[in-house]
Amino acid sequence: MTIRQFRPRRHARRSVSGKQLFLLYFGVLAVVGLQIAYPLVHGDVLRYITIATVAAGAATMILHSFLSYGAFFSITFTIVTFAYSLAVETIGVKSGWPFGRYTYDHSLGVQIFGVPLLVPFAWIMLSYPILIAARRAASHWVFIYGGIGLMIWDLFLDPQMVDAGRWSWKLVGPHVPFEPQIPLSNAAGWLFAGMGLMGLLNRILPHDRRKKSIKSTAPDLILFWTLIGGVIGNVFYFDHKDIGIYVGALFFIYLLPYIFQLRFGRPDTA
């Protein structure tokens, strides 16, 4: 008879490889670095930085979803979010519903049905951190909390992209406060389209993490950097001081329940 030494598996979650962690946090740093460079360049360089930011952000969120929740979650999240966003954007471009009348510029690259292929990947980049936050901060109201988060995020995004000529609006009716180039219908469209996506993802995606998984640090960094970078960029670089102040305050208030959960809620082990 032999006696085997028992080793508890309390460190199992830390067994994600160093290479995987390097790729993950390199992606986060790439997104932050590219967004810092965004207001400092012009012309084609600015266009390339826009495309690279979305590509790096989407890839990083997909990688985190795989490392944290597994292949089924990651593949399902990517396919569903891509298909949903492409369908919603196509309807929007063709009919003006639910966002209002808008057109995309060809500077964002290859288009499908009038929608740049890059756009669904931007939805992937945006949706994953919001889904993580919504599930933790408002577990019974994920679709509402998530939809509001996507709407607020877009209030930062739209003025930059309109100023850069990535898309343009045919303004009919009232506009978003402090954003005279963007119709109020766009905010409503993001709210309801976001609620639909968050509700769908929350329903079909598993909640349980892998045994060998990682914490939500990477998507949290992207989420909080969006707030910090959005305020700094709009106040000091994009000539949208009101947007930086008021949307920044709104985003901070929105994030408070999630911040409270991160600080005082259950440990990040679910």
Task: Say if 6 falls within a structural domain.
Answer: no
Number of domains in the chain: 1
Query: Is 270 a domain residue?
Result: no
Inside any domain, residue 11: no
Q: 217: domain range? A: 17-264
Contact (CB, 8 A) for 109 and 51: yes
Please give the pLDDT value at position 267: 65
AA identity, residue 110: V
Would you say the pTM of this structure is higher than 0.85?
yes
On whether the CB atoms of residues 111 and 233 are closer than 8 A, the answer is no
Residue 161 within a domain: yes
Exposed e or buried b per residue across 29-52, where buried means at least 16 C-beta atoms within 10 angstroms of its C-beta: ebbbebbeebbeeeeeebbebbbe
Q: How far apart are CA 244 and CA 30, in angstroms?
A: 23
Inside any domain, residue 87 = yes
CA atoms within 13 A on the CB side of 99: 25
- Tokens 């639909």: give the residue: 196
Write the DSSP symbol of residue 102.
E
Residue 1 placed within a domain: no
Residue whose tokens read 């329903």: 203
Q: What is the pLDDT of residues 42-67, one digit of tens each?
A: 999 999 999 999 999 999 999 999 99
9: pLDDT strictly greater than 70: no
* Domain assignment of residue 8, yes or no: no
Helix 142-163 to helix 248-264 angle (10° resolution) is 140
pLDDT digits (tens, 9 = 90+) for 126-159: 999 999 999 999 999 999 999 999 999 999 999 9
